[in-house]
A and B are shown apart, each in its own frame.
Chain A
Amino acid sequence: MNLWRWLWRTMIHEPVSLTRGWSLFVIFFMSPALTGWAFGKGFTALRSLDSAGVEGEVTDGSLTTVLVWATVIAVSEIGRIITLYFGVIEWTRSWTHMETILRGNLLRAQMASGGSDAGRPVASSGEAITYFRDDPHDVVLLADGVLDTMGALLFALIAGAILGAAEPRAALIVVVPLAAVVLVVRSLDTKIKAYRSADRQAASEVSRMVGDLMSGATTVKVNGAIDPVMSRLEKLVRVRETTAVRDAVLDEGVYAASKGASGVALGLVLLVSANSLVSGAFGVGELALFVAYLSWLDFLPRMIGRLLARYKQAGISFDRMSRLVADEDPANTVLPRHLPMDARSGREGGVPPLVVTRPGRVKLQTLELRAFSATYASGAGVNTVSFTLKRGSFTVLTGPIGSGKSTLLRAMLGLSWDTDQAGQLIWNGEPIVDLGAFLVPPNAAFLPQVPQLVSDSLADNVTLGPRDDDAFAGALELASIAEDLEAMPDGIQTMVGPRGLRLSGGQRQRLATARALVHSPELVVLDDLSSALDVETEVELWANLAEAGMTVLAVSYRAVALERADQIIRLEQGRIV
């Protein structure tokens, strides 16, 4: 299984914190060996005091011995607390880095315009949050489990050696319940995996519904549908309740049962040692040693059990995360990536300035679609469409609803992941190899039918990168939104709110239009730009685009657009008519 390799690559994303945290934890795990040993010695000293007391004279020497051992315990404990304090902080750093590299790779795959990084877009963003939130967490829990198990194993080796030297028979019997725990956990493997995956499924359905409701709150309200949607949500929530309880009982139940294993082990030790206890060969010092070590030793089977469960869960998580990345290959979730977020390397400095890499501009002469098809599994889509766009021309794509206009535009731009595609796009006589990677600014820009903004400043929503003031002002003018901006107190720094909801529908549309124009793309692809615009604004916009000499491919039904068109392409049932 490659899981260990993926885990390793996740872990070494940030090696400094990993090494520091790891070393501190090793010391932390070993220190109880010293503490327990000192307790054993302390009680042996107590025993001699007890015998002395029987004879009626206090031996100060022995009391001093007890104090010495008490001091050893104190030093050992202080050391343990200090190493853990710093160990946890380093480990938290390391762990956040691990989660971030996974999330970063998922996000990158979802945002990449073509290229080797691009992954299939997720269906629902509400559901996708569980991929970003829970799955990296599960992977990191495995890393955590490995660390704990290694520590516990080290301790067990040391403790085993000391116990074995003191009482070989009793030390052997301790292994029985501890091994039993490991076996039980192993046998529950399949169930753990099945329960966990059912629980994740149920949780996904809840978040999807909650996500839908949070984005569609207005629709629910204006349709007076709060009661029925709530009863639906209630059903989903109940299902998750059942799956979550099953999951918890198995997961934590195994954990709790294994914790009790040390009690059982101590019972067995007492049973097999009854003879030596009476004879005095198994003294109170040894007993203290066993009691102290056993309270730590049960950590090992617990950690092994937990590690096995976490291994399974991490496997499921990599499976799930792989759906978001290129080629659905889990290896792509752990690609090394520079994410300059370490607080240590310059907390004051902030994140380095944004640098955007774009493909080089290839001046458009002609763009030819040659027998281009994009078909859905159902058979719908566009079929063998061919046409040519010339530099500076204005082409209108029209046709009835469902005739494949949006599908064609999206497929051309490498955005249609759910269709099978055939045919070529030929740019100045050269076939385009990777549509998604090439047809982005400055070569092409796209305005979808329902443009989406993000909660950021108006300016950032347009430029999506560093700002060139002239180009920016020009795009605002072209998109006829400059005037609206003047009315806003914060101007271009106005925050548009979540999904741009602080702006009107038309403002959002024009801002998105400005976004499509800001890099003076060689080709502008507009999917029904007029849907949220009034006639005056639309006429103005078409005029602006013509004046700027832009090459435009636009879906529209409007007379004002058709009037201006150099070329009109009418689609019906996926074919040009």
Chain B
Amino acid sequence: MEGETTQGANVGRWRLLLDLIRPDLSRWLGLGLFVAIGAGLNLVGPLIIGRIVDRSIAGVEVNEISRLALWFLVVAVIVQIMAVIGIQLSAVAAWKTTNQIRLDLVRHVLSLDHEFHRSHTPGELIQRVDGDVTAVSDFLSKVVPKVLAVLVIVSGTLLILTVTEWRLGLGMAVYLIAATVMTFRARGRSVDEAAKEMSLTAKMYGGIEEHLTASEDLRANGAADYVMHRFVEDSRGVLNGSVERERAFMKMWAQIQGTVSLGSIIALIVSGVLVSHGSLSLGTAFLLFQYTQLIAKPVEDVIDQLEIVQKANGAMTRVVELRQVRSGILDDGTTSPPSGAMAASFRDVSFGYDDEQPVLSHINLGIEAGHSVGIVGRTGSGKTTYSRLVLRITEATSGTICLGGVPISDIPLAELRQRVALIPQEVELFSGTIRENVTLFDPSPTDAAVTDALRSVGLESLAGTGSDEGIHRQLGSGGLGLSAGEAQLLALARVWLRQPDLIVLDEATARVDPQTEARIDQAVAALREGRTTLIIAHRLSTLETVDDIVVFDHGGVGEFGKREDLVREETSRFRQLLDLALEPTAATTPNQEESPMS
């Protein structure tokens, strides 16, 4: 069973590499050719020296020796220049290739469902889509050219030795085969250790990232000791992981290095025997000595880089795994609901996580097209989950949700998210300009449209006055520079720009003062025209103008009816909530024009 998974992972890794290289095949082939020529030139130097040895023993003119030495020098310089160019070529190729997978992975992760994001920290995901891919990139740019160089040098050595003295060629071949077998046998375990170390490292960084995000809470509540304790625990994992990986790696290194050293010792002894029988010239013996050194060098290089190989191996396994994660939400719908406001109906909808009691059970609701519906209920009664279901961020465990009479699983996801908008409890902002945060980096809306959207939701302050940078003002990461209320208005502007057919507001006014709330209410009232609106709210004043009210209770619908009726009915749950919140119940005929702003 375990063998099978490893095998599967191996196949996955190779396929990943092939996938990566294929679009840039000619670049990689060109690089390969260049590296091969550069490596081949390395074999020329020892030939020249071998000749120098033989010729000087033979007692030739000094001139000849000087000429040979000059040739040697020229070759050495060319090898050096080619090495630098090779680095440039391989770096370009590796970055071009791996940037593609970076982008693919980010896109892939963005397409995964809420379940996935719920169980992976952003820090871990950063490590996986950027850190892991960088490890693959290092592998491609640093290791692949070196391995190719080793192959060229080894085969070239074999060829030259065989031509010079076939017995040496044969001996070298036997030795190389034995060395290769040793190397591959040593490889296995260290790969596993590398993967283990990387996941421990990712865990530590994930923890740091999360604690930094929560730093205000943690500082204010004196949690430094607690955080440091967690950090030490995670670092200990990293320490053990690194030592174990290094141990496995060094075992492999010792075997390979031992083989290389053994090779040069054998070469010396063989030379001794052959030279003493007069069947080998001293120059050829010296050639053999140099070739064993020559092979040792790039092999050592590759060994140096084995760390990168290990990391890349682990990284590739994780990349393959990540790519294999499938969203629980299939996007195979083809039906478009009729245009305009959409009715929303829920038939026996339930949702729960595997290990816990259901969050929502057997919801039945029919919301008419164009109606606005207020949704109230205690925290944990399933309201937010409910809003996620409408957008298919999470999928109902059972039951059917229809929008405009079409089950949402039959609507293409892109269309669903075009026509249904969510303004969530916690607004997420990005480092970029105000404009980029409203359009989410979409260049198509005009500046005027963006400014208009901001004004419409009451964010004149951000729309700018013409004298400042206006909507091109830069915001820090996570919306640094905006208050929570402004952030929520900005989220509203996003929706305003899109003009969807169904809007879900999840506590959109939770963090704003009454004045801003009134501004939002006005904006929402205008936005509601001709659309179906679901408004989840704690603050009942937000719901003065809605048509219907749903009261959620322990994952079910506790009450559903026209707002007017519920307010009039003294025993209704909604009426009781109003009384509890000390809010006026007289407003049975809400007046939309009235606003505390005026």
Select which of B53, B102, B219, B242 is within 8 A of A113 by beta carbon: B219
Establish whether residues A222 and B417, one from each chain, have CB atoms under 8 Å apart when the complex forms: yes
A351 and B484 in contact (CB under 8 A), knowing A77-B258, A448-B217, A537-B379?
A: no
Q: List 21 A-B contacts (CB under 8 A).
A: A39-B289, A49-B275, A63-B273, A73-B261, A223-B417, A224-B417, A225-B440, A225-B442, A229-B440, A238-B99, A267-B72, A278-B61, A292-B293, A341-B232, A399-B513, A401-B485, A415-B220, A450-B426, A484-B380, A498-B120, A532-B379
B507: A residues at CB distance < 8 A: 505, 531-532
Establish whether residues B275 and A53, one from each chain, have CB atoms under 8 Å apart when the complex forms: yes
The size of the chain B interface, using a CB distance under 8 A, is 184
Which of A81-89, A186-194, A545-553 is the interface stretch? A81-89
The size of the chain A interface, using a CB distance under 8 A, is 194
Select which of B62, B123, B220, B272 is within 8 A of A278 by beta carbon: B62
Establish whether residues A93 and B95, one from each chain, have CB atoms under 8 Å apart when the complex forms: no
Asked if A533 lies at the interface with its beta carbon under 8 angstroms from chain B, I say: yes
Of all chain B residues, which has the CB nearest A237? Answer: B99
| Count of A-B residue pairs with CB < 8 Å | 570
CA distance A149 to B422 in the complex (A): 60
Decide if the interface of chain B is mainly helix, strand, loop or mixed: helix
Which of A107, A233, A351 has the most C-beta atoms of chain B within 10 angstroms of its own C-beta?
A107
B477: A residues at CB distance < 8 A: 123-127, 208, 211-212
Q: Kindly identify, within residues 504 to 533 of chain A, every residue whose CB is under 8 Å from any CB belonging to chain B.
A: 504-507, 509-510, 512, 515-516, 525, 528, 530-533
Asked if A219 lies at the interface with its beta carbon under 8 angstroms from chain B, I say: yes
CA distance A504 to B353 in the complex (A): 13
Identify the 9 closest CB pairs spanning chains A and B, nearest first. A506-B379, A124-B477, A267-B73, A260-B80, A263-B76, A440-B222, A452-B214, A225-B440, A216-B428
Establish whether residues B513 and A107, one from each chain, have CB atoms under 8 Å apart when the complex forms: no
Establish whether residues B221 and A440, one from each chain, have CB atoms under 8 Å apart when the complex forms: yes
CA distance A108 to B540 in the complex (A): 43
Asked if A491 lies at the interface with its beta carbon under 8 angstroms from chain B, I say: no
Asked if B4 lies at the interface with its beta carbon under 8 angstroms from chain A, I say: no
CA distance A256 to B81 in the complex (A): 9
B277: A residues at CB distance < 8 A: 53, 58
Of all chain A residues, which has the CB nearest B417? Answer: A224
Contact flags B50-64 to A (C-beta < 8 A → 1, else 0): 001100110111100
CA distance A108 to B231 in the complex (A): 10
Asked if A270 lies at the interface with its beta carbon under 8 angstroms from chain B, I say: yes
B591: A residues at CB distance < 8 A: none
CB distance from B49 to the nearest CB of A (A): 7
Establish whether residues B117 and A456, one from each chain, have CB atoms under 8 Å apart when the complex forms: no
B271: A residues at CB distance < 8 A: 46, 66
Asked if A277 lies at the interface with its beta carbon under 8 angstroms from chain B, I say: yes
A107 and B231 in contact (CB under 8 A), knowing A221-B417, A504-B384, A563-B582?
A: yes
Asked if B559 lies at the interface with its beta carbon under 8 angstroms from chain A, I say: no
Establish whether residues B246 and A92, one from each chain, have CB atoms under 8 Å apart when the complex forms: yes
CA distance A499 to B441 in the complex (A): 26
Which of B5-13, B84-92, B309-317 is the interface stretch? B84-92
Asked if B594 lies at the interface with its beta carbon under 8 angstroms from chain A, I say: no
Of all chain A residues, which has the CB nearest B260? Answer: A77
CA distance A440 to B226 in the complex (A): 14
A506 and B582 in contact (CB under 8 A), knowing A50-B275, A252-B87, A284-B282?
A: no
Establish whether residues A104 and B289, one from each chain, have CB atoms under 8 Å apart when the complex forms: no
Establish whether residues A125 and B212, one from each chain, have CB atoms under 8 Å apart when the complex forms: yes
Establish whether residues B246 and A88, one from each chain, have CB atoms under 8 Å apart when the complex forms: yes
A506: B residues at CB distance < 8 A: 378-380
Asked if B483 lies at the interface with its beta carbon under 8 angstroms from chain A, I say: yes
Q: Kindly identify, within residues 33 to 90 of chain B, every residue whose CB is under 8 Å from any CB belonging to chain A.
A: 45, 49, 52-53, 56-57, 59-62, 65-66, 68-70, 72-73, 75-77, 79-80, 83-84, 86-88
Q: Kindly identify, within residues 211 to 256 of chain A, every residue whose CB is under 8 Å from any CB belonging to chain B.
A: 211-234, 237-238, 240-241, 244-245, 248-249, 252-253, 256
B250: A residues at CB distance < 8 A: 84-85, 88-89
CA distance A429 to B290 in the complex (A): 85
CB distance from A435 to the nearest CB of B (A): 11
Of all chain B residues, which has the CB nearest A498? Answer: B121
CA distance A206 to B131 in the complex (A): 11
A415: B residues at CB distance < 8 A: 216, 219-220
Asked if A158 lies at the interface with its beta carbon under 8 angstroms from chain B, I say: no
B353: A residues at CB distance < 8 A: 502
CA distance A452 to B429 in the complex (A): 16
Establish whether residues A402 and B209, one from each chain, have CB atoms under 8 Å apart when the complex forms: no
CB distance from A444 to the nearest CB of B (A): 8
Select which of B102, B211, B269, B422 is within 8 A of A70 by beta carbon: B269
Asked if A295 lies at the interface with its beta carbon under 8 angstroms from chain B, I say: yes
Select which of B130, B216, B418 is within 8 A of A210 by beta carbon: B130
CB distance from B483 to the nearest CB of A (A): 6
Which of A301-309, A325-333, A353-361, A362-370 is the interface stretch? A353-361
CA distance A205 to B515 in the complex (A): 37
CA distance A229 to B440 in the complex (A): 7
Asked if B178 lies at the interface with its beta carbon under 8 angstroms from chain A, I say: no
Given contacts A222-B424, A266-B49, 14 further A-B contacts (CB under 8 A): A84-B257, A96-B242, A217-B109, A224-B414, A256-B86, A270-B65, A284-B57, A354-B226, A400-B514, A449-B484, A451-B217, A452-B217, A484-B380, A487-B357
Select which of A206, A226, A450 is within 8 A of B111 by beta carbon: A226
Establish whether residues A222 and B422, one from each chain, have CB atoms under 8 Å apart when the complex forms: yes
Asked if A535 lies at the interface with its beta carbon under 8 angstroms from chain B, I say: yes
CA distance A488 to B384 in the complex (A): 18
Establish whether residues B118 and A124, one from each chain, have CB atoms under 8 Å apart when the complex forms: no
CA distance A378 to B385 in the complex (A): 40
Asked if A129 lies at the interface with its beta carbon under 8 angstroms from chain B, I say: yes
Asked if B587 lies at the interface with its beta carbon under 8 angstroms from chain A, I say: no
Establish whether residues A534 and B424, one from each chain, have CB atoms under 8 Å apart when the complex forms: no
A455 and B379 in contact (CB under 8 A), knowing A62-B276, A263-B45, A448-B217?
A: no
B226: A residues at CB distance < 8 A: 354, 356, 460, 464-465
CA distance A226 to B126 in the complex (A): 17
Which of A1-9, A312-320, A554-562 is the interface stretch? A554-562
Asked if A539 lies at the interface with its beta carbon under 8 angstroms from chain B, I say: yes
Asked if B524 lies at the interface with its beta carbon under 8 angstroms from chain A, I say: no
A471: B residues at CB distance < 8 A: none
CA distance A534 to B552 in the complex (A): 11
Establish whether residues B60 and A226, one from each chain, have CB atoms under 8 Å apart when the complex forms: no
Select which of B220, B246, B289 is within 8 A of A288 by beta carbon: B289
CA distance A143 to B414 in the complex (A): 52
